[in-house]
Amino acid sequence: MRRKFLSAVGVGGGCSMLALGCSLDARVDLAAASAMDQLAVSMETVVREYHTEIERSDDATEEAVVDAFIGRVRRDVSDNALVDSHGEKFRMAMKRVRDDRAVEMARYHAALDNVGLVREVSRGLKRLAAESMSFEDDARRYLFSLLESAQAGATTPQS
């Protein structure tokens, strides 16, 4: 009987350590999730600010291209060949501006996808922490039931 009690205490101690480990893991998971939430907010802010700056820069570039085109046309209005050449250069410059905007938009959406992934990992860590806490409760109930049965077995007369 003494051996049973020691076994129960050993198993109970193991379960207790397991439950404590889960508790620590849950706290770590929650802390990591919180840090990832803060990281996602910072990342999103930086991405949006960068996108806004790039848009302003692209707008300024577009305006400069248009102004340069107008200046060249005014200067060379009497030479149709030069005006045609300026028109072609204008089209190419505007295509580059549009291409740059398309590349920036792709990068912007990819960066926002990365922000979404950080948030998804954070949600996963929170779920894992909640499951760990639930497991801790189950382990605690199991530990107490083992201790109660060990105590009940210790008080019964030997056969």
pTM for this predicted structure: 0.62
- DSSP codes, 74-93: HHTTT-HHHHHHHHHHHHHH
Q: How confident is the model at residue 155 (pLDDT cuts 50, 70, 90)?
A: low
Q: Give the C-alpha separation, 11 to 37, whole Å.
A: 38
The length of the chain is 159
Question: What is the CATH class of 2-155?
Answer: mainly alpha
Higher confidence at residue 127 or residue 149? 127
Q: Is the pLDDT of residue 13 over 70?
A: no
pLDDT of residue 109: 96
Lowest pLDDT segment from 34-48, 56-70, 94-108, 141-155: 141-155
Work out the mean pLDDT of the chain and round it to a whole number.
Answer: 81
Q: How confident is the model at residue 65 (pLDDT cuts 50, 70, 90)?
A: very high
Lowest pLDDT segment from 41-50, 53-62, 126-135: 126-135
Q: CA separation (Å) from 146 to 37, 61, 74, 143, 156?
A: 40, 75, 94, 5, 16
132's tokens: 């760990």
Higher confidence at residue 60 or residue 15? 60
Type of residue at 19: A
Q: Give the residue extent of every domain in the chain.
A: 2-155
Q: Tell me the per-residue pLDDT of 84-115, one tens digit each, with 9 for 90 and over.
A: 999 999 999 999 999 999 999 999 999 999 99
Q: Give the C-alpha separation, 15 to 138, whole Å.
A: 10
